[in-house]
Amino acid sequence: MRQATFGVAYEGRWRNVVELSLGVQRTDYRKTVDLPGAARHAERRDRPWLFNVAAAGFLSDGIALYVGYTRGLEESGIAPINAANRNEALPAIRTSQADAGIRWTLNKRMKLVAGVFDVRKPYFNTDEANIFAILGDVRHRGAEISLAGSPIDSVSLIAGAVLMRPRVTGQGVELGRVGEIPLNQPARVLRANAEWRPGFLPGFSIDGAIANFGRRAASRDNLVFVPGYTLIDLGLRYRFKIGTAPATLRFQVANVTNTFAWNIVGSNSYGLTDKRRALLFLAADF
C-alpha cells in the first residue's frame, strides 16, 4: 500500500476564550495485492479531497463546549478467508464523523468529558453468495462520557461509557439482504481502570480493569445474537532499580473470572476469547 498526502492546516487559540482548527488535504491512495501463483494482481486506487473543522468555546476557566466535523479515508484491507472472494483487495472507504460535547475540569484532580457523535461509513459483509462486499452504509450514533484523574494522591482513575445505536441503512436492508444491526457492534461499552499506590509499600502499585460489552449481532440477517459479557483484570507492579537502571516487574491475571465469550470473525463464524491467564514480565532501561 502506498499513500501520499498533501494538505494545509490552520490552528488558532485565544486562551480561555475560543479555539479553532481547520484543515484540507488531498490523498493519493494505492493498494496492490499480489498472490502466489496468480497471473494478475489486484489493485485499488483513490484520490479524495478530505477536510476537518473543529471549534471550542470556553464558558469559564473549567468548562468548554466543542464541536467538530471530519471527512476521512479508512483502509479496509482484503476480503476474509471465509469469503468466496477471499484476499480480494477492498477499496479504501470514505468516512465522516460529527461530534459535539463538553469538557469540564471539575477540580485540579478530575476532568469530565461528555459528548454525542455520529460516525458513518460503508458497511462490508458477506452477501447471499458469500461475496464480501459493500452492502450499505453503517451509522454509529450515540453518546460517550469519560472521567479521569486522581481523586486522591495515591489513586489514579479513568472510567468511560459509550452508548450508541449502530444501524445499517441502504438497499440491502430494504430488500432484506442484511439486518439493520451491524455485525459485532455492541450498543453498550463500559470501561474502568484504577491504580492504587500504597504509601506503606514504596515502589508497589496495584491496578485493576473492568470492561462490560453489550450483546452483539452474530449473523448478517440479525437472526443470531451473542450475549454481553464482562472481563476483569488485576495486576501488581513493582518499580525498582538494577544498579542504576530503572526497572519494573509486572504481574497480571487477565480475565480473572474466566469468563467465556465468543469472538465474531464473520457472519455465523466464531472464535473463542482467551481464558484466564497469568502474565509476568520484567522491563529495564539500561
Q: How far is residue 198's CA from residue 183's CA, in Å, rounded to a whole number? A: 43
* Alpha-carbon distances, residue 179 vs 140, 222, 259 (angstroms): 15, 5, 28
Under the banding of pLDDT at 50, 70 and 90, the label for residue 275 is very high
Averaged pLDDT, 54-64:
95
> What average pLDDT does the chain have?
92
* pTM exceeds 0.75 for this model: yes
Q: Which of 11-15, 29-33, 229-233, 247-251 has the lowest mean pLDDT?
A: 29-33
How does pLDDT run across 134-148, given as a tens digit for each residue?
888 999 999 999 999
pLDDT at 129 over 90: no
Q: What pLDDT is recorded for position 81?
A: 82
Q: What pLDDT is recorded for position 209?
A: 98
Q: Name which residue leads in pLDDT, 94 or 36.
A: 94
Please, which residues bridge with residue 121 across strands?
A: 138
Whether the CB-CB separation of 191 and 160 falls below 8 Å is answered with: yes
pLDDT at 39 over 70: no
Averaged pLDDT, 3-20:
93
pLDDT above 90 coverage of the chain, percent: 70
Q: Which three cell numbers stand for residue 144?
A: 460517550
pLDDT at 205 over 90: yes
Q: What pLDDT is recorded for position 133?
A: 87
How does pLDDT run across 148-174, given as a tens digit for each residue?
999 999 999 999 999 999 999 988 888
Domains of the chain: 2-284 (2.40.170.20)
Under the banding of pLDDT at 50, 70 and 90, the label for residue 279 is very high
Q: What pLDDT is recorded for position 127?
A: 82
